[in-house]
Amino acid sequence: MARRVKPSLYISVDIEADGPIPGPYSMISFGAAVAGRQDADGYAPTDPEAYTFYRELRPISEDFVPEALAVSGLDRDRLTDEGSEPAAAMAEFSTWVREVSAGAQPVMCGYPASYDWTFLYWYLIRFTGASPFGHSGCLDMKTLYATKARLPLRAVAKGTMPRELLSGRRHTHHALDDAIEQAELFSNLMAWDPTPSA
């Protein structure tokens, strides 16, 4: 008898940070959008605006890289006064992930996942002690594309992808906007078959 495989729920996450690594530097905002669900019957996309999460966070250190901070357009002084406490925000996010992924295993997906996952996972462990994604529940869209296109990973950039794969939305460096945009890219990649038809 075949073992029943639990479905995966893919959640596109984008983070903005004021430096290269968590701890010395801060994650200052993050957004998430449910991209779709995969089970034994295949992948089903979700409207990426239907289930979303967004928070702006209070910085956790005094250090920041001005160039990194400038990418997001966020004001550190305002975040220090008005940003969510990281512990509260990460607890709320964990609850949201568990609710939207009921009956499935949540998987974080990002483009590229490595940077966003580093901050997200560190913050979840540091401020809640656990990750709803486990320690390895992430999928990198660059790797997914490189594998399907049979290209070296370092040859992959959004500008080299077929236009039909890309979202029509602008990449704004607002974490929720970009999470939604990347959710559309992910669903397009999951459906994409680059094999020429006979």
What type of residue sits at position 78?
R
Distance CA 153, CA 146 (A): 6
φ and ψ at residue 151, rounded to 5 degrees: -120, 155
In angstroms, how far is CA 116 from the centroid of its own chain? 6
- Residue 171 appears among annotated catalytic residues: no
Q: What is the C-alpha to C-alpha distance for residues 65 and 14, in angstroms, rounded to an integer?
A: 19
Q: Is the four-CA dihedral 166, 171, 175, 176 of positive or negative sign?
A: negative
Q: Say how far apart CA 11 and CA 47 lie, in whole Å.
A: 12
Catalytic residue numbers? 173
